[in-house]
Structure 1
Amino acid sequence: MSDDPLRNLGQDPRGIVSVCSAHPLVISASLQEAMAQDQFALIECTCNQVNHRGGYTGMTPVDFVARVKEIASSVGFPEGKLLFGGDHLGPNPWKHLAADEAMAEAKLMMRSYAEAGIRKLHLDCSMGCKGEPVALDDETTAARAADLCAVAEEVGEDFIYIIGTEIPAPGGAHEELADLEPTKPEAVRRTYDVHKRVFEAAGLSDAFKRVIAIVVQPRVESAQMSVVLYDPERAQDLVAARSDLCGLVYEGHSTDYQTAASLKALVDDGFSILKVGPCLSYAVREALYGMEMAAAEVDGGPRALRDTMEALMLADPSVWDSHIHGDAASQKSQRHYGLADRIRYYWLKPEAVAALDSFHDRYRATLPQIGLLSQYLGGDFIKEALEAGDDFGDPDALIRRRVRRTLRPWLKACI
């Protein structure tokens, strides 16, 4: 057996957590917790967050890798245990263009990911472009995925690939969810068989041997105000279908807000890659707002950080208006407290950065006492921070603790 932690998934290690976030505090906290649990850290970015055009973070893949490595160095995380992935790599950011134009951009993006050394690549060409159906058939999806794979193979021959996309588009579900159906076993087998045939016909047989996982819908999802928890009984047929996939594991997307028991059951059932992201940036927002409320009790001032974020979201509703529904009061609540954490798209804006700097100054000036912080951050959280020796005068230390506490069940499920 090879020492490659990704090629060995389902064996040793039995699973791995994929942290999909560009937030520096999420990344640093995730690395700290992975180090504490003696696990590899797989950090991923999506086609919308990071691409050759900069994405909504303004970072190219080279920028993203450099930033994560810089953070890893700052927390003492060993570079040999740091892994990088790219999620939903395909034409999605350019699907408003004709297919040939969108795929030309996707190929440039794929090359930029490969040249940056991002080794785990999720090929996702399932979405229709201008004039096409919303979801494409398996043949077209596989052919376009093979075109992108060929670009990566021109750069090197050590990339590993993920296929399949039986999940909501990047960014999460647009509607509230009461129930979902797991992917049908016949759909999984067809996705695998069509991709294998198309890749081999394109001269990519060796690359297809490095496909390690397929993305399916295990009946796991979260929206703004709802969570669908994993039910092993409902997924029995899907789990059994893995025996027809020549050793591939499943990659579980949108596992945010799953319980510890659900996460363990997912890994036990062969969902060896657990993708998580919004619930971690939600933890950042939760800690920030709690600390701001505590500071406001001390100095009697306004909730300036929250007010700034509300103004930013209202000024640019493009990333939340299709995800948030209901009357004005409900929409305002969802903008800040919705589980899909649409606010995460705004933290890197200059106005938000300035508001965060002001918040840090205010927090250090007010220094809310531990009992007051417990009121807004929770007593168990405060106890853990005390036991860990965190600096209660450093808001970033408390934010990282919040993220680590949130992430821990995912890492434990993969042991």
Structure 2
Amino acid sequence: MTDNPLQDIAQWRGRPGPSGIPSICTAHPMAIEAAMRCTLPTELPLLIEATCNQVNQDGGYTGMTPEDFRVFVEKIATRIGFPADRLILGGDHLGPNPWKDQPADQAMEKAEVMIRAYAAAGFTKLHLDCSMGCAGEAVALDDTETAARAARLAAAAEDARPEGGLPPVYIIGTEVPIPGGAMEEIEGLELTSPDAALTTYEVHREAFTQAGLQEAFSRVIGLVVQPGVEFGNHNVIGYDPDAAQDLSNALPRMAGLVYEAHSTDYQTREALAALVADGFAILKVGPGLTFVLREALYGLDAIAEELFPGARAHRLRDVMEASMQAAPKNWDRYYHGSDAERALQRHFSYSDRIRYYWPDPAARDAVAELFDLLGDRDLPETLIGQYLGALYADVRAGRLAPRANDLALAAVERLTQDYIFACGGA
């Protein structure tokens, strides 16, 4: 049986080539295509992850099951010529979170069905997250119960994985905000202590052993910790290597493991590289990808209005506002302040909860109309400088075609390149 390409990620730092890997956490087809285009010329495989709320047996907020998501990604790969054997699919926060308002036994049964679906669909990187309490339980469970439930889900995944398929690798731990990110401005963070990280590791090892899953535990490759990075609606907490040094120094005491860093969106290229150098070898990015894509789409929206005033019944931004107002559940409880402040957050928050609305039919139609209107024509450099300034230099230098589709993809590629550079894949 061929080993999972991530099985030995803890040894990558000691050999030539990449020393970490970006984790692309998005279901937006343009963001996925951009990540594929960036990764293709590198030595890295491409890790694409879906969350429990985004993709599950009930469809999640994307309407996709794990099998649907796999087919969706593979179709994009086929279209642009990205090799299927370089794709790694992952599942994030797999546990009872989507059903935590139900009693634990019911929620865990549904979590088992979900992780079986992920494993059966060929997802080979699985984050086990059973830390949240269900109906009638504390908000956060203790390490022992969390680990016991994680082992239960690992057993389900092992049972459901396809015969002859790659054995999955597992991620444990969950010292991050709930799926979807923080809900407010972040003033400070408490880093995971080395003792807490070691305890999480040992308690999970014991739980797997008691469940007869020693071999599966040998495929635990990562531990989710809080290294001191996060973003809220308005601000970003940057990585401080000095503050994380004790946590980094504890990693060699967990043989074969790396740290997985969540919420690395909006970190600088230098901060991302420092994270990888300190052992945070898996860098997860999600809202940041669709944030820069939204910037590009809104810039193109403005360019279209300059070139073809009144040609559309509604501008893209107006369509997105109407979609969010018609279905406020994905932003209403996350955004605070006056009506004007909440209006600003709907479109420009770092949390990027507008990403939930791109799959809406009205949004898809508006984006399609925008690209149809702009077509394959070369857009004026002066308008690119005005509304897509970050891409202007590449257009002027001839490195980037001044066309709508190329510009939108390039916005995501620029961000993805920061992650590839940080992981040593450039």
Contact 1:295–1:366 (CA<8 Å) still a contact in 2?
no
Q: Does 1:312 align with 2:323?
A: yes
CA distance in 2, matches of 1:72, 1:387: 29
CA distance in 1, matches of 2:39, 2:135: 42
Q: CA deviation at 1:391?
A: 4.3
Q: Which residue of 1 aligns with 2:52?
A: 47
Q: Which residue of 2 aligns with 1:240?
A: 249
User: 1:28-72: per-residue Cα shift (whole Å, max 9, x none)?
Assistant: 000000113342110000001111111100111111111111111
SS at match of 1:152: helix
User: Of 380, 383, 386, which aligns to 1:369?
Assistant: 380
CA distance in 2, matches of 1:117, 1:362: 39
Contact 1:292–1:363 (CA<8 Å) still a contact in 2?
no
Q: Which residue of 2 aligns with 1:166?
A: 175
CA distance in 2, matches of 1:262, 1:5: 25
Q: Which residue of 1 aligns with 2:358?
A: 347
User: 1:267-291: per-residue Cα shift (whole Å, max 9, x none)?
Assistant: 0000000000111111111000001
Q: Does 1:299 align with 2:304?
A: no
Change (3 A) 1:388 1:210: farther
Contact 2:104–2:135 (CA<8 Å) still a contact in 1?
yes
SS at match of 2:62: coil
Moved more, 2-11 or 332-341: 2-11
User: 1:311-335: per-residue Cα shift (whole Å, max 9, x none)?
Assistant: 1111111111222111111111110
Q: Which residue of 1 aligns with 2:335?
A: 324
Contact 2:378–2:401 (CA<8 Å) still a contact in 1?
no
Moved more, 299-308 or 351-360: 299-308
Q: CA deviation at 1:24?
A: 0.3
- Structure 1: 5+ residue stretches without partners: none
Q: Does 1:383 align with 2:388?
A: no
Root-mean-square deviation (Å): 1.7
Contact 2:4–2:168 (CA<8 Å) still a contact in 1?
no
Please give the TM-score of this superposition, normalised by the length of structure 2.
0.93
Contact 1:225–1:338 (CA<8 Å) still a contact in 2?
yes
Q: CA deviation at 1:389?
A: 5.6
Q: Which residue of 2 aligns with 1:98?
A: 103
SS at match of 2:149: helix
Q: Which residue of 2 aligns with 1:214?
A: 223
Contact 1:215–1:253 (CA<8 Å) still a contact in 2?
yes
Contact 1:385–1:401 (CA<8 Å) still a contact in 2?
no
Structure 1 residues 99-178: aligned runs within 5 Å: 99-156=104-161, 158-178=167-187
Contact 1:298–1:368 (CA<8 Å) still a contact in 2?
no
The one-letter code of the counterpart of 2:113 is: L
Q: CA deviation at 1:385?
A: 4.3
Q: Which residue of 2 aligns with 1:20?
A: 25
Please give the TM-score of this superposition, normalised by the length of structure 1.
0.96
Q: CA deviation at 1:363?
A: 2.5
CA distance in 2, matches of 1:3, 1:376: 47
Q: Does 1:37 align with 2:21?
A: no
Change (3 A) 1:27 1:366: closer
Q: CA deviation at 1:14?
A: 1.2
Q: Does 1:5 align with 2:5?
A: yes
Q: CA deviation at 1:365?
A: 9.5
User: 1:106-143: per-residue Cα shift (whole Å, max 9, x none)?
Assistant: 00000100000000000000011111111111111111
The one-letter code of the counterpart of 1:310 is: E
Q: Which residue of 1 aligns with 2:15?
A: none
CA distance in 1, matches of 2:226, 2:28: 26
The one-letter code of the counterpart of 1:359 is: L
User: 1:61-91: per-residue Cα shift (whole Å, max 9, x none)?
Assistant: 1111111111111111112211110000001
CA distance in 2, matches of 1:10, 1:412: 18
Contact 2:194–2:246 (CA<8 Å) still a contact in 1?
yes
SS at match of 2:281: strand
Q: Which residue of 2 aligns with 1:228?
A: 237
Contact 2:4–2:169 (CA<8 Å) still a contact in 1?
no
Change (3 A) 1:409 1:3: farther
